[in-house]
């Protein structure tokens, strides 16, 4: 298949073309996450080159941060709707999910990460000068959607080096064995004291370490080419500081996120029922500008926890997770602070 534009990824144009023809589609909606939006016009060109002239291609201009974040307006108005860059959170006949995999080689950084993992065998432990009795040769392995295509190879690579590798598929929210999301680390719930996370960014391994405090989480980041061991201290300090600020709040905004995979109605409703000074606010994008105008003392975000913890400091009033809210209002002790995770689809 000849393409108008060169690119590194496989956009599965034939699958899209087939769906357009089979459904006799007149409208096709394409949704890309932020980092891939730039590719949108070229992909639209390629699809236009494959199908009838009367097919209208539409690009979603809504922000998109995950498979939880489908453009439902565009989806409803498209005969074929294609979501690029994430693995399916929930299968649907309407949606074509096109995962886009990183072409970064993970093995050089995995090689470096071995120095942070407990040695795989008694011999290796002796060689490193570690007490062989203390060696647990097992390791859990997790990664993100964009490295999922190499997951089998990663596992074999560790096994070849003597490790017993534990993997599992977390829950319904996840498509693949070994996959983690920013809001779900159930795939790391394995019988091993150490977990190797292969992937970019800080958020996923932090959540992983918070969710599994009893495990050592080693981060092999092939994108930034660094190995680190997840340290939750700084994160916890920030969260405690925010919770303390929120303790002074008299009025609360309770955010219910309207994005298809980010709504937790029961959590929001329970807080409302419990607190006469809490006001329910519905919104898709949760941003400082949108909340400032309400003039409330604090917010509890039942939507994406990544916004609460990563973007939180940008909000003019403290923003906490539902679990942190219970601490801030005195229903739970400070020690109960944990990472906010999502389970299930929608």
State the angle between helix axes of 13-22 and 40-50 in degrees (0 to 180), rounded to the nearest 10.
50
Q: Which residue has the tokens 């909000």?
A: 315
Rounded Cα gap, residues 1 and 197, in angstroms: 36
Q: Is 258 in the site for a second copy (CB under 8 A)?
A: yes
> Considering only residues 41, 132, 313, 344, which one is a binding residue for a second copy as defined by CB under 8 A?
41
Nearest distance in Å: CB 79, a second copy: 14
User: What are the start-end ranges of the E strands in 91-249?
Assistant: 95-98, 138-143, 164-166, 194-198, 216-221, 226-229
Nearest distance in Å: CB 259, a second copy: 10
In the complex with a second copy, which residue's Cβ is closer, 56 or 338?
56
153: number of Cβ within 10 Å: 11
Query: Could you tell me which of 158, 154, 180 has the C-alpha nearest to residue 169?
Result: 180
> Considering only residues 157, 290, 332, 345, which one is a binding residue for a second copy as defined by CB under 8 A?
290
Q: Which residue has the tokens 């700084």?
A: 234
Q: Is 266 in the site for a second copy (CB under 8 A)?
A: no
Only segment of 54-62, 123-131, 223-231, 337-345 that touches a second copy (CB under 8 A) = 54-62
Q: Is 26 in the site for a second copy (CB under 8 A)?
A: no
Q: Is 2 in the site for a second copy (CB under 8 A)?
A: no
Nearest distance in Å: CB 70, a second copy: 13
The two tokens of residue 197 are 């996370």
In the complex with a second copy, which residue's Cβ is closer, 220 or 281?
281
Under rule CB under 8 A, which residues in 129-168 are in contact with a second copy? Answer: none
Contact 60, 30 (CB under 8 A): yes
Q: Is 40 in the site for a second copy (CB under 8 A)?
A: yes
**DSSP β-ladder status, 95-98 and 80-84:** parallel
- Going 224 to 228 to 229 to 235, the CA torsion angle's sign is negative
Only segment of 67-75, 167-175, 177-185, 236-244 that touches a second copy (CB under 8 A) = 67-75
Contact 337, 326 (CB under 8 A): no
> Considering only residues 141, 255, 319, 320, which one is a binding residue for a second copy as defined by CB under 8 A?
255
Q: Is 247 in the site for a second copy (CB under 8 A)?
A: no
Residues paired with residue 221 on neighbouring β-strands, in sequence order: 226
> Considering only residues 7, 14, 73, 344, which one is a binding residue for a second copy as defined by CB under 8 A?
73
Q: Is 295 in the site for a second copy (CB under 8 A)?
A: yes
Please calculate the CA angle 325-327-333 and round it to the nearest 5 degrees.
Answer: 160
**Contact residues for a second copy, defined by CB under 8 A:** 29, 34-35, 37-38, 40-41, 44, 56-63, 71, 73-74, 77, 251, 255-256, 258, 269, 272, 279-286, 289-291, 293-296
């Amino acid at each position: 298949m000849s393409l108008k534009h060169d690119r590194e990824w496989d956009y599965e144009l034939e699958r899209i073309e087939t769906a357009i023809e089979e459904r006799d589609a007149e409208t096709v909606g394409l949704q890309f996450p932020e980092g891939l939006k730039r590719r949108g016009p070229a992909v639209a060109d390629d699809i236009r080159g494959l199908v009838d002239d009367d097919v209208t291609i539409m690009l979603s201009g809504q922000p998109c941060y995950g498979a939880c974040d489908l453009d439902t307006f565009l989806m409803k108005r498209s005969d074929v709707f294609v979501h690029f860059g994430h693995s399916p959170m929930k299968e649907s006949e309407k949606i074509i999910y096109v995962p886009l995999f990183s072409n970064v080689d993970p093995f050089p950084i995995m090689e470096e990460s071995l120095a942070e993992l407990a040695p795989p065998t008694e011999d290796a432990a002796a060689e490193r000068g570690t007490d062989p009795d203390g060696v647990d040769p097992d390791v859990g392995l997790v990664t993100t959607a964009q490295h999922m295509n190499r997951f089998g190879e990663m596992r074999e690579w560790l096994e070849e080096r003597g490790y017993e590798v534990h993997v599992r598929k977390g829950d319904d929210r996840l498509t693949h064995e070994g996959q983690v999301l920013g809001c779900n680390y159930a795939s790391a719930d394995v019988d091993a004291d150490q977990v190797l996370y292969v992937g970019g960014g800080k958020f996923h391994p932090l959540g992983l370490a918070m969710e599994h405090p009893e495990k050592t989480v080693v981060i092999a980041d092939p994108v930034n080419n660094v190995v680190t061991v997840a340290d939750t201290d700084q994160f916890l300090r920030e969260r405690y500081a925010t919770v303390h600020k929120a303790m002074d709040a008299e009025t609360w905004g309770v955010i219910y996120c309207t994005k298809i995979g980010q709504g937790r109605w029961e959590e929001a409703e329970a807080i409302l029922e419990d607190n006469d000074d809490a006001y329910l606010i519905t919104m898709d994008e949760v941003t400082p500008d949108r909340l400032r105008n309400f003039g409330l003392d604090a917010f509890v975000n039942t939507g994406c926890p990544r916004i609460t913890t990563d973007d939180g400091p940008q909000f003019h009033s403290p923003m906490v997770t539902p679990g942190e809210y219970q601490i801030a209002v005195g229903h739970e002790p400070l020690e109960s602070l944990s990472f906010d995770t999502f389970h299930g689809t929608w």
